[in-house]
Structures are given as C-alpha cells and as structure tokens.
Amino acid sequence: MSTNITGHTTLTGLLGSPVAHSISPMMHNEAFNLLGLDYVYLCFDVGVDNLKTAVDGLKVMGVRGFNCTMPDKNLMCELVDDLSPAAKMIGAVNTVINENGKLTGHNTDGVGYMQAVKDAGHDIIGKNMTLLGAGGAATAICTQAALDGVASINVFSIKDQFFDRAKHLVDNINANTNCKASLYDLSDKTELNKSIDNSYILTNATSVGMAPNTDNCIITDESVLRSDLIVSDVIYNPMETKLLKMAKAHGCKTFNGLYMLLYQGAEAFKIWTGQDMPVKEIKAKYFDK
C-alpha cells in the first residue's frame, strides 16, 4: 500500500466483524497504486450493533464508498438512501457508494461467485445446485445463479430471521426466471441428502467452518459427497474448510471463496472509481500462490 497519504486521499474500506483477516485491503490498495489513484482502503471491525453509527460517520466524513461483509449485509439495506435493482431483489448490500451525500447500496457477490465458478473450470448453467444458507452471500448467489440460467436451486437454511426473506426470494425467482427454486429447513436431512444426490454443485454460503471455528462443518453425513459432485465454499479463511477437506477426500472437485472475493471486489472497484480493476495483476500477486 502506498504511504503517500495526502489531504486529498479518498477513503474506501470494509465494514464487518471479523475483518482483520480480509485480503480486500491488499487487493484494492494494490489496484489503486497500479492505476495511480489517490485512494486508500482500510478495514473497520463493526458489527450490527454499531453499524448505523459507523455509516453515519463515514457519510459525514465524505467517504467515497465501502464494502460490508458478515454480519452487516442485510441491515445495510436499511441504512442507505437507495438500492440498486440487484440489491433490492437480494435484500443485502455488500458495496456502497457515496455520491454527494447520497448512499446507494449495490450487491456484487453474485456476479463474483458466478465468475469464480467459471475460473474454477466449471459450467453450472442448466444444472442443479444445492445452496446452504439464506444470508447475504447466499441470496446474492441464488439470485445471480438463477438469472444466469442454473436449472434449479434448492436452498437449505435454519429457521432464523432470514428464513421468511428466503421464502420471498425463492418465490420471486420462480416468478421472474426460468430457474426452479425451493426452500427447505436445513434440519431436514432427508431432503438435504436427496437434493445433494441430484445436484451438480453443492455450495456452502454460511459462515460455518470459518476461522476461528475451523472444526465446524455444515455437512455431517459424508456419504453424500460423491466423486462427481462439485463442492464450493464462500469461506476463504481457512483456505480449505473442513467441508472442502472432506469433499476432496471423497474425490470431489472443490474451490473456496477467494475468487468470489476477487471478482466481487473488481465490481465494487469499478463502482467507486469508474475504472476496471487490473484483475490479472492482482490475481497473480495475491491469489495464484
């Protein structure tokens, strides 16, 4: 990161908890440097309890924009002045831009995930997906996958505060796309096993297994992990979750959330700066190791 901070340096950053592990500062600051932009990107550990205060402060300070991650994506919808069509449909925000005091929330997670699937060498269009979770990342993935042409998506979620919103999302997808979407209780192991058995790809879009709780795994029955199943995890810390280790041991092709992070970040970068992130250089330096 450049140390040439001036009185004109534009602030961007990340809100969430935890965020100390994030690669986003390295990625964005390197991109700013490569393009000669007087911007800086910082991390701020802010959970939902203090999110409104933080957003109000950033708005007053004239921040150009910021990302938000778990657990802030859903509440952020209520704190911005406007929502992009994608963010409105998803019900979660991961990117905010400040234009003359007006905050607009976007969601780039779904685009990032679908590009990550391609980067991993897979084509899931016209195929069946089992998606675990109904939070911000899960709804973004579900929406974009449906729009891009995934044949069916079975969403499994615990019956928490996100379940009713997930039901609305599934109904919306069925009404407005050719994708067949269904919602199930994650505790229904019979339906879960049946769904995975009929799926081309299994995606964990929850935080289960993320550091520091790396011994946790959302899948408890390893028998569902057949060798021709693709298994992905939005988590990238650790780089290989317990789920991915189990899947790999059963011969599954796997990938983590690193490239999703890269490509959702590239979309956010363009929203803030109007320029394309130098993805090739960023990928080579921070991701392909």
Domain extents for the chain?
A: 10-107+260-287, 110-256
pTM of structure:
0.87
Structural fold of domain 10-107+260-287: Rossmann fold (3.40.50)
Please compute the mean of the pLDDT values over residues 108-131 and round it to a whole number: 96
Please compute the mean of the pLDDT values over residues 194-220 and round it to a whole number: 96
Residue 103: how many CB atoms within 10 A of its CB? 21
Phi-psi region of 36 (alpha: psi -120 to 50; beta: other; left: phi over 0): left
DSSP string, the chain: ------TTPEEEEEEESS-TT-SHHHHHHHHHHHHT--EEEEEEE--GGGHHHHHHHHHHHT--EEEE-TTSTTTHHHHSSEE-HHHHHHT--SEEEEETTEEEEE--HHHHHHHHHHHTT---TTSEEEEE--SHHHHHHHHHHHHHT-SEEEEEE-SSTTHHHHHHHHHHHHHHSS-EEEEEETT-HHHHHHHHHT-SEEEE-SSTT-TT-TT--S---GGG--TT-EEEES--SSSS-HHHHHHHHTT-EEE-SHHHHHHHHHHHHHHHHSS---HHHHIIIII--
User: CATH 3.40.50.720: does it fit domain 110-256?
Assistant: yes
Tell me which residue has tokens 């997930």. 166
Please compute the mean of the pLDDT values over residues 255-271 and round it to a whole number: 95
Tokens of 170: 């599934």
pLDDT bucket at 1, cuts 50 / 70 / 90 = very low
Residue 162: how many CB atoms within 10 A of its CB? 20
pLDDT over 90 percentage in the chain: 89
Distance CA 20, CA 139 (A): 24
pLDDT bucket at 91, cuts 50 / 70 / 90 = confident
* Residue in 192, 201, 177, 235 with CA at minimum distance from that of residue 117: 201
pLDDT bucket at 289, cuts 50 / 70 / 90 = low
Task: Name the residues annotated as catalytic.
Answer: 73
| Position 54 pLDDT exceeds 50 | yes
Averaged pLDDT of the chain: 95
pLDDT bucket at 3, cuts 50 / 70 / 90 = low
The pLDDT score that the predictor gives to residue 162 is 80
| Position 135 pLDDT exceeds 90 | no
| Position 78 pLDDT exceeds 50 | yes
| Position 131 pLDDT exceeds 60 | yes
| Position 176 pLDDT exceeds 50 | yes
| Position 2 pLDDT exceeds 60 | no
* Residue in 189, 256, 182 with CA at minimum distance from that of residue 224: 189
The pLDDT score that the predictor gives to residue 165 is 85
Question: CATH topology of 10-107+260-287 equal to that of 110-256?
Answer: yes
User: Residue 150, Cα to own-chain centre: how many angstroms?
Assistant: 18
| Position 11 pLDDT exceeds 90 | yes
- Which has the higher per-residue pLDDT, 89 or 289? 89
* Residue in 142, 129, 128, 141 with CA at minimum distance from that of residue 170: 142
The pLDDT score that the predictor gives to residue 40 is 98
The pLDDT score that the predictor gives to residue 127 is 98
pLDDT over 70 percentage in the chain: 99
Q: Poorest-confidence range of 65-69, 164-168, 242-246?
A: 164-168
The pLDDT score that the predictor gives to residue 89 is 84
* Residue in 95, 45, 100, 39 with CA at minimum distance from that of residue 66: 95
Please compute the mean of the pLDDT values over residues 247-257 and round it to a whole number: 97
Measured CA to CA in angstroms, residue 19 lies from 43, 76, 98, 158, 211 at distances of 6, 16, 21, 24, 11
